[in-house]
Amino acid sequence: MNKTKTLKKTAAILLGLALTVGATGCNFIVTDSEEDLVQEVASVNITAQLEKSDKALATEMKTVLEDLSTSIKKRDLVSMFLSTGYQYVESYGYTYEDTFNMLLDSLIDRQIMIQKAISHFLKTNKDLTANACGTWVDAQIKNAADAKTKDLLGKHREVLVLKYFLTDGGKNMEDYDLAVYSLRKSLNDSLDSMEASYISETESHDHGEARTLPTNVSKEKEDYYTNDYVIYTGRNKSSNYGKYEPQEGSTKTTRMKAYNAFLANIQGYDLISEKEDTQDIEKLDYFYVELASILGQSLINKYYEALETEISNELNKEYMEAKYNEFYKQNEQAYASDPTAFGTALDSASADSFMLYGLKDYGYVYNILLPFSATQNIQYAEAKNKGLTQNELYNVRKNLLVNVKGEDQRGSWIAEHDHANYSTVDEDYVEGTPILFFQDYQEETSQYEKLTQYAGTYAYNGTWKKDDEGEYKATPNKVSIDEFITIFEKHINDTVPGEDVVASGNKVSGYNTDNYKGTDGKIDYSKFTYYKGQVNLTDKSAANFFNPESDQYKALSAVNELMFAYSTDTGCLNTYMGYSVSPYGTNFVKEFEFAAQDLIENGDVGSYAVCATDYGWHILYCSFKYQAAGDVYGGFNYDLRETEGTFSKLFYDSVKESAYTNYATEEQNRILIEYDTEACVKRNQKAYQDLLELDK
């Protein structure tokens, strides 16, 4: 069963924010001693409420709570303030009193949910018992790898209790390993941030102007983890960091400075004892506190995931079809008689926010802009100041357009250093070999989310070789508009299999004119369209728009890749389907508006055109078209709800995630109302009164 994004997220206290507070000198929390931080600010024990409905379960929970602390310490409250709470004071105008009370409520809520999750697994999994948990915890401590780990586990038995229930008694380690990886990565990210201030600019490398990256680049999959990952502190005995990659310019010295600053900051809040050996960060008491925090949140996630079956059973065919009809009617009522509202809504459409009802001749276009050079812009500006007629000025522009040259913008994606290199260039690269990008993002087994609508097969159009100073440099080739059209059509034809799917077109005869006015004396914007073509797609259905196996998806992926490669109009990059186009008015320049509207009104999905504007050459591609007023997708097909790429699956997943989120919220609210009572929760305000008085 797929886990929803909402419930899968693993929350940890992000130490990087604590670093930021320390770095800016905002040490406004003063504690007298370590003893002050270990004071109990609240305690949570839900067994009193459990006894009312299930005495046997309450007895089991009492045994578990002997190892799982019911106490919330002052240090937990301070740590949470450093990670998130200070933002409420600094950015949102909250008082310290309101902030700390809110944070304590949050810690109490989380502890209630952790205990509720454990009680759920005790009740539903016959293999998990309180006595077995205690035996397992004792065995883990006894068999610890070294004396220091044994001592830490003995002090933090709650870590092992949480691990026991998270792993089904030590049998299934995936969720635990994911939690540990998330914590390690959080720490490395924090240290990376701090280390950046110590890395000299002279040690860094210039990769040129950064090119916009496609969505999902460097976005790890939510369930990705690896055990081959080390927290790099600079004090590591070995330079083998596993899957962790030090940032550019990092040295052992800069990393140690960052780690020392990190330690000094949290020691300043007495979150690390001065007596502790800080050589190994994973042997710090602080690490175990943070580990308990992230394991607790992971266990809550696991509890909600266990309830997913209840929700899935409700999302039957009858329910889903009714939900589709409900949303469709809402769309119809909103847009059928109001084209303006429909046109506005197009800009907010997404893969999980659908326009089920459509209006004819609306759609989307991709835009690849090959711009005028700086010199050409100056020449054109000078012509505008000469008092030329509109026709004369258009002819000046046409003559300048002949010499417009596009070039591959992806040079900054090529580097000798792994952290900035998204290409196939590596230490074994042979000069002259075609360079491709994001090959690691094309496989389902990748660490990262797969790139969508991105073919990944168009090699860098230029060279990558050493310059006179011995530094590698990317030099793009220059291409005219006619050369680009050839590239454009060839890449589509190479990407979309089948002899019947061909991208082809012709130059528009009306472009060759010296008179841009029509018979009515007004500007005829059709005369600025230089070229028109069509990809002969076999499948243009809206329901298959996101199907990776459809030829319309493959063609769109080829165009999208070329847009990232050549277009200097970055506003169209990483959009849902491109720019939305209305058959009425738009905010586009008139030449572009005409070409875009013409593609959608008189063309179809896969239609493309080249037009001229004051910005240069635009290559427009119709990515999506609303064919007629009415149902866009032809209804919801329950049998396709698990078929990747289909509208029915996207719609089903969207409804399912919304249902899970609502159910989780309702369930949490119900639990908190039931268990956040005087019988289960004790607050000790005296222990944190000094924090509430920081406003004074």
Quickly list DSSP for 423-469. BS--TTPPTTS---B-GGGSSTTSSBPPPSS-------SEEEEE-TT
Whether pLDDT at 249 is above 80: yes
Instruction: Say what the alpha-carbon torsion angle 565, 570, 571, 573 is, to the nearest 10 degrees.
Output: 30
pLDDT of residue 206: 52
Q: Are residues 274 and 421 in the same domain?
A: no
Using one digit for the tens of pLDDT, what is the confidence trace for 285-339? 999 989 999 999 999 999 988 877 778 888 999 999 999 999 999 999 999 999 9
Q: How distant, in Å, are the alpha carbons of 133, 438, 441, 548 from that of 413? A: 51, 9, 14, 25
Instruction: Say what the alpha-carbon torsion angle 672, 673, 679, 680 is, to the nearest 10 degrees.
Output: 0
Place 219 in a pLDDT band, splitting at 50, 70 and 90: confident
Whether pLDDT at 597 is above 50: yes
Crossing angle of helices 157-166 and 130-142, in 10° steps, is 120
Using one digit for the tens of pLDDT, what is the confidence trace for 185-202? 999 999 999 999 898 644
Q: Is residue 621 included in any domain, yes or no?
A: no
Tokens matching residue 241: 């960091």
Whether pLDDT at 428 is above 70: yes
Q: How distant, in Å, are the alpha carbons of 217, 361, 456, 601 from that of 559? A: 18, 22, 11, 20
Q: Is residue 65 included in any domain, yes or no?
A: yes
Q: Rounded CA gap, 64 and 42, in Å? A: 19
pLDDT of residue 445: 67
Tokens matching residue 139: 């065995």
Percent of the chain with pLDDT over 70: 93
First to last CA, the chain: 52
CB of 540 closer than 8 Å to CB of 501: no
Q: Rounded CA gap, 486 and 500, in Å? A: 18
Q: Are residues 139 and 282 in the same domain?
A: yes
Q: Are residues 275 and 417 in the same domain?
A: no
pLDDT of residue 323: 95
Q: Are residues 281 and 430 in the same domain?
A: no
Q: Is residue 344 included in any domain, yes or no?
A: no
Tokens matching residue 287: 């690490």
Most confident of 21-30, 539-548, 602-611: 602-611
Reduce the DSSP state of residue 135 to 3 states and report it.
helix
Place 33 in a pLDDT band, splitting at 50, 70 and 90: low
Place of tokens 């992230």: 294
Place 32 in a pLDDT band, splitting at 50, 70 and 90: low
Boundary (domain end) residue, out of 458, 476, 494: 476
Q: Is residue 635 included in any domain, yes or no?
A: no
Boundary (domain end) residue, out of 287, 306, 325: 306
Boundary (domain end) residue, out of 424, 443, 476: 476
576 or 120: which leads in pLDDT: 120
Q: Are residues 302 and 438 in the same domain?
A: no
Place 4 in a pLDDT band, splitting at 50, 70 and 90: very low
Total domains in the fold of the chain: 2
Place 146 in a pLDDT band, splitting at 50, 70 and 90: very high
Q: Rounded CA gap, 357 and 634, in Å? A: 10
pLDDT of residue 497: 84
- Residue 444 domain boundaries: 409-476
Q: Is residue 55 included in any domain, yes or no?
A: yes
Helix, strand, coil percentages in the chain from 3-state DSSP, rounded to 5: 50, 10, 40
pLDDT of residue 7: 37
Q: Is residue 150 included in any domain, yes or no?
A: yes
611 or 269: which leads in pLDDT: 611
Q: Are residues 150 and 263 in the same domain?
A: yes
pLDDT of residue 15: 35
Count other C-beta atoms under 10 Å from residue 524's C-beta.
Answer: 16
What is the phi/psi pair of residue 478, to 5°?
-95, 135
Q: Is residue 694 included in any domain, yes or no?
A: no
Q: Rounded CA gap, 120 and 64, in Å? A: 13
pLDDT of residue 681: 97
Whether pLDDT at 18 is above 80: no
Q: Rounded CA gap, 464 and 457, in Å? A: 18
Q: Is residue 133 included in any domain, yes or no?
A: yes
Cα–Cα nearest to 320, from 657, 637, 646: 637
